[in-house]
Amino acid sequence: MITTTPMLDIKKIRKDFPNLDVTVHGKPLVYLDNAATTFKPQCVVDAVEQHYSQGASNVHRGVHYLSEKATEDFEGARRKVQNFIHAKHPSEIIFTRGTTESINLVVQSYGRAFLKEGDEIIITEMEHHSNIVPWQMLCEEKGCALKVVPFNEDAELIWEEFEKVLGPKTKFVSVVHISNSLGTINPIAKIIKAARQYDVPVLVDAAQSISHAPIDVQALDCDFLAFSGHKLFGPTGIGVLYGKTDLLEKMPPVQGGGDMIASVTFEKTTYNVLPYKFEAGTPHVAGVIGLGAAVDYVKSIGFDAIGEYKKDLLDYGTQVLQAVPGLRLIGTAKEKTSVLSFVLEGIHPHDIGTIVSDEGVAIRTGHHCTQPVMKHFKVPATSRASLTFYNTKEELDALVKAIEKVKDVFK
């Protein structure tokens, strides 16, 4: 068998992203904050611009040309997302504002309807706040209990601890696929398989993983999957909740209004079919169309090539950062993606972030909406460089150089 190494033409790819040409403080921007949000390729910008300048119209409501065209593009994008994550039906794709809203939708609908006092919900110690707080709110309301699976010093989930909390009282499992502050890739398929013993629904927070590797929701057999368009090179303000039809069918809507109804009288309202039951009001039409363009773009590059390139970048970044005296990496799981969180002895991350920004380098500093992770490592915050396929080794060198500057300042 002949195997070929997929290669990326990075120079060409970088030309697709106009935002990479920005200069900061007179220096070329080095953008290493992709876990927060990704830049948009020109084709996404064009798709959004095209909708607003040539095709602006509401969807599902008009019979005039533009409305029909907008509806076609909107529903076409839904099918693109369906194919991208290999959902069985387009109606299993619900458009939301993002991961946060997708998780809240499940909590507010499934959680309020089907969970009760004494039920247990399993999450992990490395969740983003958006997969902690909505569940805490539900627990307060319903008297459910949150069970948290801890991780070890390499930031890997402790499997035995998961097995310990999983049991007949477990009624929901909600787990982050890839941690945004640690880069850890969790064994999501194994978690779902284990949860099946108790016939418990599993939600996967795919905010970070959606741009990392192909996700096949049918092969994974997850019940819900949440992600945001803006972390997949698409627009902000648009996201997806995937849900299995049988679950979505029995869940009540969370928001009432236009589009989500079949009929309305003052005596009784009946609800629309999926996915519209969960999409009240005018949706983010341009955002959905932009997301469809983003999906096309990622597919055109291909996850094989993306994965290989990012792995190489991560290895290089790990190596050059580890060589910086006084720097400690936070998050050293064997299975991890291109997130490099670190602390520098005696220097607060906010000072690091500010000084490297003066050098044109954009990293994120803070708790990354994962305060329990910071507590685990006994640090107030970390600095985080998060990489994607348009980043280069030269940019990582620029980060190291900027860190040396920080150290000089604090000498």
Q: Which residues bind ligand PMP (CB under 6 A)?
A: 35, 98-100, 128, 130, 176, 180, 205, 207-208, 228, 369
Q: How far apart are the first and last CA of the chain?
A: 56
Nearest to 176 by CA among 128, 212, 218, 134: 128
Nearest to 274 by CA among 256, 260, 264: 260
The tokens 């502050």 sit on which residue? 181
**What is the smallest separation between the CB atom of 118 and ligand PMP, expressed in angstroms?**
28
Residue with Cβ nearer ligand PMP (183 or 292): 183
- Distance between CA atoms of residues 242 and 377, nearest Å: 33
**What is the smallest separation between the CB atom of 84 and ligand PMP, expressed in angstroms?**
17
- Distance between CA atoms of residues 198 and 193, nearest Å: 10
Q: Which of 43, 139, 144, 369 is catalytic?
A: 369
**What is the smallest separation between the CB atom of 96 and ligand PMP, expressed in angstroms?**
9
- Distance between CA atoms of residues 231 and 277, nearest Å: 26
Residue with Cβ nearer ligand PMP (374 or 398): 374
**What is the smallest separation between the CB atom of 41 and ligand PMP, expressed in angstroms?**
19
Residue with Cβ nearer ligand PMP (55 or 243): 243
Contacts 24+ apart (CB under 8 A), 43-50: 43/16, 43/293, 43/296, 43/297, 44/233, 44/234, 44/235, 44/290, 44/293, 44/294, 44/297, 45/18, 46/293, 47/289, 47/290, 47/292, 47/293, 48/235, 48/286, 48/287, 48/289, 48/290, 48/293
Residue with Cβ nearer ligand PMP (119 or 205): 205
**What is the smallest separation between the CB atom of 128 and ligand PMP, expressed in angstroms?**
3
Nearest to 116 by CA among 134, 138, 147: 138
- Distance between CA atoms of residues 237 and 99, nearest Å: 10
Residue with Cβ nearer ligand PMP (186 or 357): 186
Q: Which of helix, strand or coil describes residue 106?
A: helix
- Distance between CA atoms of residues 167 and 171, nearest Å: 9
**What is the smallest separation between the CB atom of 179 and ligand PMP, expressed in angstroms?**
7
Residue with Cβ nearer ligand PMP (38 or 130): 130
Residue 43 is among the residues annotated as catalytic for this protein: no
**Catalytic positions, please?**
369
